[in-house]
Amino acid sequence: MKRTLFRLQCGKLIESLEAVPVADGNGGARNKTGDNTGNNTLQLHRADGSRFDLQIVGRDHDTLVLMLNGVRRRVRYVRRGRHMYMSLDGRQAVVEWLEDHDQDSRGQGSSDPVVRAPMPGKVLEVLVATGDSVAEGDPLVRVEAMKMEVDLTAEFAGTVDSVHVSAGDLVDPDAALVTLAPLEKAPG
């Protein structure tokens, strides 16, 4: 059975979770109505051993309708590569897929050298300069969007080729913030 690992950040809380599809006995996932609608019901396992159920009931371009332990919730979201930025009842969260995630159309197995704004927002701080070396996961730019501060990070190790924004800039979704150049691989 496929398991997916991800990290959830909500304010100062950072938690690693494992998602396991809940099978219906016929190879599909079950939902509360008994329909076999594909893999839409998950059991989330926390590091402390506790578990809770999550079912995706509906989705449109920027909203998920979820059943979380039997309670129906609407969550606004934007997905960019390995990250999903969400807003629920005034609280913001970031989910980062660590393993077995489906890449969006930009991913397709390779990382985009351009780090882009996930949604409209304001650049709070640029954490790198042109020519800086960065490791995978290093923070590059801090933005405020949907009332949350988000550090956008390097998808791979490399060098900062160019910085396209400054602190205080307002940015649109998909605006280029930083361009990275991958590290050169040694011949051999």
Domain edges within the chain = 4-97, 114-182
Distance CA 134, CA 115 (A): 13
* pLDDT single digits (tens) 147-166: 677 888 888 899 999 999 99
* pLDDT single digits (tens) 74-112: 888 877 777 788 877 777 787 877 765 443 433 334 467
* pLDDT single digits (tens) 21-57: 876 544 444 444 333 344 578 888 888 888 888 888 8
Fold of 114-182: OB fold (Dihydrolipoamide Acetyltransferase, E2P) (2.40.50)
Amino acid at 14: I
Amino acid at 55: Q
pTM of the complete model beyond 0.85: no
3-state SS class at 117: coil
Q: Which two tokens mark 118?
A: 């996930």
Task: Identify the band that residue 174 occupies on the pLDDT scale cut at 50, 70 and 90.
Answer: confident
- Asked if CATH classification 3.30.700.30 holds for the domain at 4-97, the reply, yes or no, is yes
